Structure 1
């Protein structure tokens, strides 16, 4: 029994080392997201356009697979799944406060785009959420 436990530990360690030596970026991206890119982000762009002044939308990725944040108007929460380089968000629940029409438009666009996310890339400390063709949908700066 003890030998099986040691063998399992060696196999896991070897797999972990293999992921670290992965040169295609897949292991690096997944490890970076899990290790240093979980946390809170300030959304700065939605489809390449700056967010509305003073709206301060945020996004927070937790280790347990939950996402939460604020659209600049309402709070939202849901689940995300990260497998290799594929990132996807499930349906979002949100509060239903009414805001100025421009903020409501930004909110609808952001929540709609989150369901279209298929991946992510790192750009410095920014997390860029992308569609299936790797086009940027949402850019968010890590809150230090």
Structure 2
């Protein structure tokens, strides 16, 4: 009985570990829902995609953006983002700047049990996002 219980617990632990990827998925677009303590403005669309080759890109709410990134285990950092130069409503432009600032402060990542990707700064401010369909 004790061996069976030990084997069952070991299998459950292994199954639990298998649910968490070693890196955010490549070529999967993630839709940002929160930047720090604030949700996105209205129906704006902010996204992030990792290409698996050290380049990230997406939509920043007004402009398309791109940046280099490095992943080492749970550590994550982004290079200086670049973007197109469209002008949008002031609230969208402010949100875009908060997004770029948050990317620059990211130090680690995690995926919750429900599949939410979180990018965290040193003081645990968060970019929260979900895979897009």
- Selected match of 1:86 from 64, 67, 75: 75
Q: Paired residue for 2:6?
A: none
C-alpha contact 2:54 2:69 (8 A) present in aligned 1: yes
- The answer for unaligned runs of 5 or more in structure 1 is 1-20
Deviations 1:57-77 (A, max 9, x none): 111111111100111100100
Q: CA deviation at 1:85?
A: 1.0
Larger helix share, 1 or 2: 1
Relative to the length of structure 2, the TM-score reads: 0.79
C-alpha contact 2:23 2:73 (8 A) present in aligned 1: no
C-alpha contact 2:33 2:128 (8 A) present in aligned 1: yes
Q: What is the aligned residue count?
A: 117
- 1:127 and 2:93 matched: no
Runs of 4+ in 1 over 3 A off after TM superposition: none
Which protein, 1 or 2, shows the higher relative CO under an 8 Å CA cutoff with sep ≥ 6? 2
**How large is the Cα RMSD of the aligned pairs?**
2.1
Relative to the length of structure 1, the TM-score reads: 0.74
- 1:105 and 2:105 matched: no
Matches within 5 A, 1:1-144: 31-33=21-23, 37-38=25-26, 39-123=28-112, 124-133=114-123, 135-144=124-133
